[in-house]
Chain A
Amino acid sequence: MTTFAETPFVRARKRNELFAKLVFGAMAALLVTPLLSIVAYLVIQGAPLLSLDFLVSNPSNGMRAGGIWSALLGTIYLVTLSLLIAAPIGVLAAVYLNEYAEDNWFTRVINLAVVNLAGVPSIVHALFGLGAFVLAAGIGRSVLAASLTLSIMTLPVIIASTKEALSSVPRAFREACWNVGATRWQTIRGIVLPNSVSGILTGVILQVSRSAGETAPVMFTGAIFFRPIPEGDPFAYSIFDQCMALSMHLFSVTTQVNGAPPALPYATAVVLLGTVLAVNATAIGLRVYLRSRKKW
């Protein structure tokens, strides 16, 4: 006779179900642990030195005391300039590749190059920057050369993320435009870009963390060990100057300076992390805002 009672086999399956859920949940929880412990560890270790004064004063006493002003400003310069170079080129190239380009050998070569360029280690970009911008182009070691090197490094990723954002706009919208006689540019400007701008911006802004964190590309092309600048002046560097950078500063105070207070590298790391997190938070906020205005 059939009833709806639980059979032993059903019980076994339920046990398996519970076990699977626990395993997956545990792995997901595990993901958060390193992030939280790293941040907590850095903040605890760096706490003695962290203050507003630390941000806006130059390093002093052979980098053993003082703040990180010139490194912080240098990083801001490098990141901003590299994005100003890479973002327009990357976004426009991605629009071409996604919206205009036909599938032929030429565009396949470009796409292949973009994918491979994204996989090149940063030290290779650094050497390329040194050879191409510093030496061959004669720019010399400077903010500009370092920013150009960083933009070469971020360009392929910006292209890839922009293409992703563009292709997430439903094809039906494009068809609707073409079928009333809109040109490709009218379609892109009126429909495709307004509806993918959140994804494009997110992709671009996420490259800030990479630019800010990479040491090798800037070390070879424009960042220096120590350079005091007027404290609190946001226009202290010219783009043809060499500058300090947070990533390189962290490397220096950890490995090159004897007798630095133990909190110094941690405090520097907190500032670097904080800058990146602040920019990423802006990106998330911007995306939420633009998503909420999305029209479908």
Chain B
Amino acid sequence: MTLPARAAQGGITTRELSLWYGDFQALKSVTLTLQHGLITSLIGPSGCGKTTLLRCFNRVNERYGYVTTRGEIKILDKNIYDEDVSLEELRRLVGMVFQRPNPLPLSVYENVVYGLRIHSPRRDLSKSRLDEAVERSLREVGLWDDLKDRLGARATGLQLEQQQKLCIARLLPMKPEVILMDEPCSALDVEGTRAIEELMWTLRGKYTIVIVTHNMAQARRASDECVFMLLGEIIEHRRTEDLFLHPRDPRTAEYIEGRYG
């Protein structure tokens, strides 16, 4: 497996990022560089802050109660905590996939074009442009052949695996820079998990993909780089192979051996 050329910019850089839920400090001075075009997995025991960190990247944390943040996160060389950053635009470019597939209660077609609809004035959306976006996005996630005759079917009635792929397809028409995945396979069976992991590999290179997972085998199989977190701190961030074969920190070693977590 060869790594794609590392873009000079792109990717995600955090500097001294700290975050508090009320008085509880969930992230402690996180400084991290995630390469553009790679798949980076965030691992660590429950409550270590990996999901919190993920949710910082599109600032959706701020909708979940009282949150204070300090430090900076740069995406496309822009600090997303700057005053002039629009949350709507940020979330257009930084998409999120959830643990439980959450297609909207609309048709397959409308799910895929939902992003275009909310981000473009109506006059810019011709039928042909929407149709093209649907076909391209569904092809990219490998759903086109299965669903091309059922575009009007309601998305919530699909199989879970198809729903999850649809949730990924939903992000693509907006041409995202980053795709965040919060345990995207934990509601799926073995086949579904394999399908999503394969899909991640096909998307690799075009997008910066960050995946939170509880499943160490998955992190090992499906990521280029791996970040191990504990109690809100980054313990180790290296190539996945190196982290699993030669962990530097004893806490990492104990975690990947399954002594705790």
The interface of chain A, by Cβ under 8 A from chain B, is 172-173, 175-183, 186, 190-191, 195, 294-296
Contact = CB atoms under 8 A, between A and B. Distances in A.
Contacts of B218: none
A-B complex: 7 closest residue pairs judged by Cβ atoms: A295-B105, A181-B91, A181-B88, A172-B102, A179-B96, A296-B156, A296-B105
Interface of B: 58, 60, 63, 87-92, 95-96, 98, 100, 102-106, 114-115, 117-119, 154, 156, 167, 170-171, 174
Contact of B118 (A186, A195, A294): A186
Nearest to A186: B118
11 contacts: A172-B100, A173-B105, A179-B98, A180-B171, A181-B115, A181-B119, A181-B174, A190-B114, A191-B105, A296-B154, A296-B156
A176 B106 CA distance: 12
A295 B156 contact: yes
Contacts, number: 67
A123 B232 CA distance: 59
Nearest to B89: A181
A179 B88 contact: no
Given A172-B102, A191-B104, A191-B105, A181 B118 contact: yes
Nearest to B63: A178
Nearest to A184: B63
Contacts of B105: 173, 191, 195, 294-296
A190 B92 CA distance: 17
A37 B38 CA distance: 74
Contacts of B171: 180
Contacts of A183: 88, 118
A177 to B, nearest CB: 7
Contacts of B63: 178
A180 B91 contact: yes
A195 B60 CA distance: 23
Contacts of A181: 87-92, 115, 118-119, 174
Contacts of B156: 295-296
A295 B109 CA distance: 14
Given A182-B118, A295-B106, A296-B105, A172 B88 contact: no
A290 to B, nearest CB: 13
Given A178-B63, A181-B89, A296-B154, A173 B118 contact: no
A114 B92 CA distance: 38
Given A178-B60, A181-B118, A173 B102 contact: yes
Contacts of B167: 176
A183 B104 CA distance: 15
A180 B88 CA distance: 8
A39 B116 CA distance: 56
B102 A180 contact: no
Counting chain A CB atoms within 10 Å of each CB, the highest count among B88, B154, B167 belongs to B88
B87 A179 contact: no
Contacts of A177: 104, 114, 118
A180 B170 contact: yes
Nearest to A176: B102
Contact of A175 (B92, B98, B115): B98
Given A172-B98, A294-B105, A180 B118 contact: yes
Nearest to A195: B105
Contact of A179 (B60, B100, B103, B117): B60
Candidate in B87, B88, B104, B118 with the most chain A CB atoms within 10 angstroms? B104
A127 B168 CA distance: 59
Nearest to B170: A180
A294 B156 CA distance: 11
Nearest to A294: B105
A295 B119 CA distance: 23
Nearest to B103: A176
A130 to B, nearest CB: 46
A190 to B, nearest CB: 7
A10 B154 CA distance: 49
Nearest to A187: B118
Nearest to A183: B88
Contact of A182 (B88, B103, B154): B88
Contact of A176 (B89, B104, B174): B104
Contacts of B58: 179
Contacts of A180: 91-92, 95, 114-115, 118, 170-171, 174
B78 to A, nearest CB: 16
B257 to A, nearest CB: 35
Given A172-B102, A176-B102, A181-B91, A190 B118 contact: yes
Given A173-B102, A190-B118, A195-B105, A179 B91 contact: yes
Residue among B89, B114, B154, B171 with the highest chain A CB neighbour number at 10 A: B114
Contacts of A182: 88, 114, 118
B228 to A, nearest CB: 26
Contacts of A195: 105
